[in-house]
Amino acid sequence: MRLDKFLVSTGKISRSDAGRAARGGKVTVNGIVEKKADRHIDPDVDVVTLCGERIVYRRYTYILLNKPAGYVSATEDGRDPTVLTLLPEDLGRIGLFPCGRLDKYTLGLMLLTNDGDLSHRLLSPRHHVEKRYAYTCRLPLLAEDMEQLERGVELEDGYMTKPARMIAEPESRSGIIVLTEGKYHQIKRMFEAVGNKIETLERVTFGPLSLDPTLERGQWRYLTDAEVALLQSGTKGVDGV
């Protein structure tokens, strides 16, 4: 594998910065400074450092994005910009895709990865991975409607939603809804089923991950090793269960 590709795969650096770092003498391979970013290395055998730090090979990339309104969660779209266009060009070439969908005007936590197995596990209803959404709705949500949403409601196509959890004051127009599934426009359709209407929606958690308050809308960062390990461990929610 090319040295620059290896450095980029770790998620710490873009390909152009990798080239610059090598030319600047900041990269070593097996203890020797290597200025040629296009040289080949064996990630399982060679020891690479960047600015003195040992770089461990990462097969997959994991990105946390604070999705703004107006972007679609797809890899391509003929009409609207996709969430991938918010990332630098380098990251457009490593097969990233959004793990699950948010509607065009839904905001908040979006995970992007090229790890198909992990994504499949996080999205499979069998694994009950929790997602929390902060909502505002048009009408005060009555206690009986909250109970109904928690028990499950029948959507207009006959689908019965799985039990959900509401974190909200009765009769208020905002709160948190916690789901373990993700059907098309699910929350909007659930609120419509109880005669209400969603006005704004923001995903604030995804499994054990929380939306990073330091990320502005449209900003992103790599997941930390600890966050990746949590996702891989099968932790289902932010409460650590």
* Residues in contact with ligand URA by the rule CB under 6 A: 102-103, 106, 185-188, 201
Residue among 112, 105, 98 nearest 70 (CA): 105
Is beta strand 27-29 parallel, antiparallel or unpaired with respect to 48-50?
antiparallel
Shortest Å, Cβ 194 to ligand URA: 14
Report angle CA 112, 113, 117 to the nearest 5 degrees. Answer: 130
Q: Is 157 a catalytic residue?
A: no
Look-up of token digits 């704004």 = 200
**Cβ closest to ligand URA, residue 29 vs residue 193:** 193
Residue among 126, 25, 120, 9 nearest 62 (CA): 9
State the CB neighbour count (10 A cutoff) for residue 86. 20
Report angle CA 30, 52, 32 to the nearest 5 degrees. Answer: 30
**Cβ closest to ligand URA, residue 164 vs residue 223:** 164
Look-up of token digits 């290597």 = 34
**Cβ closest to ligand URA, residue 19 vs residue 207:** 207
Residues recorded for the chain: 241
Shortest Å, Cβ 205 to ligand URA: 13
Shortest Å, Cβ 131 to ligand URA: 8
Residue among 71, 57, 79 nearest 11 (CA): 57
- Out of 80, 103, 212, 239, pick the active-site residue: 103
Take residue 232 and report the two structure tokens written for it: 């891989």
Shortest Å, Cβ 108 to ligand URA: 9
Shortest Å, Cβ 182 to ligand URA: 6
Distance CA 140, CA 224 (A): 39
Residue among 108, 161, 156 nearest 135 (CA): 108
**Cβ closest to ligand URA, residue 10 vs residue 196:** 196
Residues 6+ apart with CB under 8 A from 179: 130, 131, 133, 162, 164, 186, 187
**Cβ closest to ligand URA, residue 149 vs residue 201:** 201
Q: Which residues are catalytic?
A: 103
